[in-house]
Chain A
Amino acid sequence: MPEYAIETAALRREFGRNVAVAGLSLAVPRGEVFGFLGPNGAGKTTSLKLLLGLVAPTSGGGTVLGAPLGNTAVRARIGFLPEHFRFHDCLNARELLHFHGRLLGLPARGLRTRIEALLLRVGLDDAAHRPLRTYSKGMTQRAGLAAALLGAPELVFLDEPTSGLDPLGRLLVRDVIKELRDGGATVFLNSHLLGEVEATCDRVAFVKNGLVVHELELANATGTLDVEMRVGHVDDALLEGLAAFGTGVQRDETFVRMHANSESVLPELARWLVGRNVALYELRCGRKTLEEWFVEVMGEDQRPG
């Protein structure tokens, strides 16, 4: 069993002169909920299509669940919810799931039970007999989610899964992701909703111009405190002393800033400053949100998409 659910090396895709994905190198461990973040046009959807074998790479390669990209058989172990799930709208949800089950090669025995359980899970049991064309956007998305989960996949790709969902629908997706992780599945989440990503992902990759520019362990990154203080006189000895309480000590005209591992450092820090007769006018701390990380990593030059 390979250690990684997804592994790619310098994956590149060009459309004519346009480079959609410049050189994607990823390693997503099994059992992880992995967030894939980036501004519009960063190459996220094309990257996802490359991993699913919907688009062939111009160069580079990789594996998904140990099989080379584009392998057909491995797709039986993969679930996929596109951003705008569409299917033949003359079918009802039950028929849709039945057809998907057969395409996945699931045996007829047990499929009906599995379909009913999933319809109940996504809250479509009452509407399962209605054609998909009568569904709202959120209902269609939930039908797509059920289809993505049908084969009890080891790896699930969710492309903007909460777009079009109301708050209850978003909670449903969040719970489903948690259930998948608890069941040992890997989730690859492509989303613009940073709050959703922050709440569900173990790790995120930031993509810019078709390249992964930064990766972040969310448990560590959002656990780090940003400490900011305004003191009377700052000299090199003070800055050296502060380094004992955290990392990344920096100063500007007004503030001294640093990172601390936990809030328990703050009282000690205050006592140390007072003990050195440093005039302490202000001491505050805050955690960096994923949104702030996003802006920092992507840079201020990004235009809204």
Chain B
Amino acid sequence: MMRGTLLIARLTWLETRRRKIALAALICGLLFLTVYGTAMYFGFRLARAGGPTGEDPVDAVGMRVAATILTVAGLYVVNFLVNAVAILLPIDSLSGEIGSGVIQTLASKPVDRAAIVVGKWLAYLLMTAAYLVLMAGGVVVIMRFCADYTAPAVVVPMGLMLLGAATMLSITIAGGVRLSTITNGIVAFGFYGVAFIAGWMEQILSMFGNSTARHVGTVVSLVSPTDSMWRRAAYELQPLATVVLQNGPFGVVSVPSAVMILWAALFSVAVLWFAVWQFRRRPL
């Protein structure tokens, strides 16, 4: 099982690299970092100079708050891109190979079908993780260079963002067992969209003490935990910022608990297990 899993993971990695899928994602990511870096560079230079007229200098606390907000904003976009990568990389991996007949060649080898599913999942998770490290690392470095600001904690938030992306990866892999590529894409982005809206609904209505909305948000988070992982990551990034940003677009009013983190991990594994179970039963 392990040998087969690693071989499939290697093949998947090789294919993604050769088909220039990873390169395209990398170029788009670097484009974002370039635009983000340019904006940060000129923005903070202007702030230090006291604005366009030089008469409104920003104090150290203001600079730190601005840097915190903009770091979280940058990572918010990174989180979206990482989730998009986790969905788009495997979108036609299984369904495409089933449709083209490639899977018959693989499945007729002495390899458990679970190895095919898990091998692909593993390869895509590693790629997503590499992409996350590059992009989030880019945001952190840009803020260090432009605003002299270092986020106090990045490893745990990045782990949470990766866990959120892993849930989307599992959903997309599982969808690919039975659904066509397009249908799978619609379903996967549907899961992401629902989590996104539910997260905002939970955030906004929690401020007004609406417990029903909060419960609905929690239930949706159970079905699609990716957004709750982002909110927990944002909280971990800078708990102080969450107080400052509470009413802003990146604030965290309702902080997902440690149980939700555990649930997200279980969710990823359970959906992956479901994909394996379905794939073993599926006629090829």
Contact surface of A with B, Cβ cutoff 8 Å = 15, 49, 52-56, 72-76, 78, 80, 82, 84-88, 90-91, 99-100, 102-105, 144, 147
Contacts and interface: CB of A to CB of B under 8 A. Distances in A.
Nearest to B3: A105
Given A55-B284, A56-B283, A88-B15, A103 B107 contact: no
Contacts of B106: 103
Interface of B: 3-4, 7, 11, 14-15, 18-19, 100-102, 104-112, 281, 283-284
Given A49-B284, A56-B283, A90-B14, A82 B110 contact: no
Interface centre among B19, B104, B109 (most CB of A within 10 A): B109
Nearest to B107: A54
9 contacts: A52-B108, A54-B107, A54-B108, A75-B110, A86-B101, A90-B19, A100-B109, A103-B106, A104-B110
A91 B11 CA distance: 9
Nearest to B15: A88
A72 B11 contact: no
A252 to B, nearest CB: 49
A203 to B, nearest CB: 24
Contacts of B102: 86-88
B101 A84 contact: yes
B14 A91 contact: yes
Contacts of A86: 100-102, 105
Contacts of B4: 103
Contacts of B112: 72
Contacts of B19: 90
A129 to B, nearest CB: 14
B174 to A, nearest CB: 20
A56 B108 contact: no
A225 B202 CA distance: 86
Contacts of A55: 283-284
Contacts of B105: 80, 82, 85-87, 100, 144, 147
A56 B18 CA distance: 34
A74 B106 CA distance: 14
B45 to A, nearest CB: 45
A102 B4 CA distance: 9
Contacts of B108: 52-54, 75, 78, 80
Candidate in A49, A54, A74 with the most chain B CB atoms within 10 angstroms:
A54
Given A54-B284, A82-B105, A72 B15 contact: no
B81 to A, nearest CB: 24
Nearest to B12: A88
A80 B18 CA distance: 26
Nearest to B284: A54
Given A82-B101, A88-B14, 19 more contacts: A54-B104, A54-B107, A54-B108, A55-B283, A72-B112, A82-B104, A82-B105, A84-B101, A86-B100, A86-B105, A87-B102, A87-B105, A88-B11, A88-B15, A88-B102, A91-B14, A91-B15, A91-B18, A103-B4
B220 to A, nearest CB: 34
Nearest to A83: B101
B42 to A, nearest CB: 42
**What 9 pairs between A and B have smallest CB-CB spacing?**
A90-B18, A75-B110, A55-B283, A76-B110, A103-B109, A54-B284, A80-B108, A86-B101, A86-B102
B7 A99 contact: yes
Nearest to A79: B108
A86 B3 CA distance: 23
Nearest to A50: B283
B241 to A, nearest CB: 44
Nearest to A90: B18
Contact of A75 (B15, B100, B109): B109
Contact of B283 (A54, A87, A91): A54
B36 to A, nearest CB: 32
Task: Determine which residue in B4, B100, B104 has the highest number of CB atoms from chain A within 10 A of its CB, and name it.
Answer: B104
Contacts of A74: 110
A90 to B, nearest CB: 4
Contacts of A100: 105, 109
A146 to B, nearest CB: 12
Contacts of B284: 49, 54-55
Contacts of B11: 88, 99
Contacts of B283: 15, 49, 54-56
A72 B281 contact: no
Contacts of B101: 82, 84-86
Nearest to A100: B109
B14 A73 contact: no
Contacts of A72: 110-112
Contacts of B111: 72, 103
Nearest to B104: A82
A136 B252 CA distance: 57
A56 B105 CA distance: 17
A159 B66 CA distance: 66
Contacts of A147: 105
Interface centre among A15, A72, A100 (most CB of B within 10 A): A72
B110 A103 contact: yes
Contact of B15 (A49, A80, A90, A104): A90
